[in-house]
């Protein structure tokens, strides 16, 4: 799970547009505060006169090793989460640490109030962090992914995983897992550019019971051939995340949508 656009190579440029908008545009990138959000989370107009606002990111330590995006989102319930970056170490093992980018600098103060509160049976430490530390972690994740994606990784495990997907029947529908919470339909359409004509009506972003994105989506292609070809994008990056793709169906979309209500 990582972002892009911080190196000189073409790969980093390809990974860059969305996170670069965060850098270039500042708080305006995050959009309007959702309806129903408490006024205490709104960006004050007077707080950073004459200086740029700080980058709204916190670092978490001591997370359960089976922690998911949804667990972090629930932990910070009520805050606007833009991105969650899980940090891995040797062998792609989860370190128990993560970075969480929030919608507004003021929300960092509220996130810090969760310091030493429990997630499951473990208490989680929450620290103020910086843009530089976040970018450094991104670079580390890129390096880690390339390492475990080398021929030295477990070939048998990778082959079994891939063959399962290859043998699945294609109906023209793909399920995406691991999306950045900030990803919109236009980002997903750009991700699948070149795999048939897609419109906003063919992209379905799933939400939780609060109406916030849960990191999953479905995309309906024009044909089964297009969706099968699009599987080439499996485990490629969108934003800071590796996106997993799975052949799916309209029935699975309906079932998943009903669970989020």
Q: What is the C-alpha to C-alpha distance for residues 38 and 62, in angstroms, rounded to an integer?
A: 28
Residue whose pair of structure tokens reads 């107009």 in the numeric block: 45
**φ, ψ for residue 48, nearest 5 deg:** -125, 45
pLDDT at residue 210 in the model: 80
Q: For 47-77, give one letter per residue: b (16+ CB within 10 A) or e.
A: eeeeeeeebbbbbbeebeeebebeebbebbe
**φ, ψ for residue 218, nearest 5 deg:** -125, 145
Radius of gyration of the chain (CA): 19
96: left (phi over 0), alpha (psi -120 to 50) or beta: left
Considering 4-18, 46-60, 183-197, 246-260, the range whose residues carry the highest mean pLDDT is: 183-197
Residue whose pair of structure tokens reads 């998911």 in the numeric block: 68
pLDDT at residue 194 in the model: 94
pLDDT at residue 203 in the model: 97
Kindly report which listed range (10-24, 131-145, 177-191) carries the lowest average pLDDT score: 10-24
Residue 153 has pLDDT above 70, yes or no: no
Please give the angle made by the CA atoms of 135, 137 and 142, to the nearest 5 degrees.
95
Q: What is the pLDDT of residues 27-86, one digit of tens each?
A: 333 333 444 444 344 444 445 566 778 899 999 999 999 998 889 999 999 998 888 999
Nearest CA to 207 out of 104, 81, 123 is that of 81
Q: What is the pLDDT of residues 180-224, one digit of tens each?
A: 888 999 999 999 999 999 999 999 999 887 888 888 999 999 999
Contacts of 1 (CB under 8 A, 6+ apart): 84, 85, 86, 141, 178, 240, 241, 242
For the chain, the 3-state helix, strand and coil shares in percent, each to the nearest 5, are: 40, 25, 40
Residue whose pair of structure tokens reads 């997903």 in the numeric block: 188
Q: What is the pLDDT of residues 93-127, one digit of tens each?
A: 889 999 999 988 999 999 999 999 999 889 999 99
What sign does the dihedral 110-112-117-119 (CA atoms) show? positive
- Tokens standing for 74? 């629930």
Q: What is the C-alpha to C-alpha distance for residues 5 and 11, in angstroms, rounded to an integer?
A: 8
Q: Are 118 and 67 in contact (CB under 8 A)?
A: no
The band of 168, judged by pLDDT with boundaries at 50, 70 and 90, is: confident
Residue 4 has pLDDT above 70, yes or no: no
pLDDT at residue 48 in the model: 55
């Amino acid at each position: 799970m990582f972002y892009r656009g911080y190196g000189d190579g073409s790969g980093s440029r390809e990974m860059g547009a969305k996170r670069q908008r965060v850098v270039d545009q500042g708080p305006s990138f995050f959009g309007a505060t959702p309806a129903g959000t408490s006024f205490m989370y709104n960006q004050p107009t007077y707080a950073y006169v004459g200086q740029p606002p700080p980058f709204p990111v916190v670092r978490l330590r001591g997370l359960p090793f089976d922690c998911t995006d949804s667990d972090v989102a629930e932990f910070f319930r009520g805050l606007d989460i833009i991105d969650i970056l899980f940090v891995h170490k040797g062998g792609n093992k989860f370190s128990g640490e993560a970075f969480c980018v929030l919608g507004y600098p003021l929300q960092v103060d509220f996130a810090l109030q969760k310091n030493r509160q429990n997630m499951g049976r473990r208490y989680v430490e929450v620290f103020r962090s910086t843009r530089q530390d976040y970018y450094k972690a991104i670079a580390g994740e890129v390096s880690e992914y390339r390492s475990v994606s080398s021929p030295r990784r477990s070939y048998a495990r990778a082959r079994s995983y891939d063959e399962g997907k290859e043998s699945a029947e294609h109906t023209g529908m793909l399920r995406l897992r691991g999306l950045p919470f900030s990803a919109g339909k236009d980002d997903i359409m750009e991700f699948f550019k070149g795999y048939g004509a897609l419109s906003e009506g063919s992209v379905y972003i799933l939400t939780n019971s609060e109406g916030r994105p849960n990191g999953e989506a479905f995309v309906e292609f024009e044909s089964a051939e297009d969706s099968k070809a699009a599987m080439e994008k499996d485990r490629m990056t969108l934003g800071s995340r590796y996106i997993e793709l799975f052949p799916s169906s309209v029935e699975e979309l309906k079932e998943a949508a009903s669970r989020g209500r």
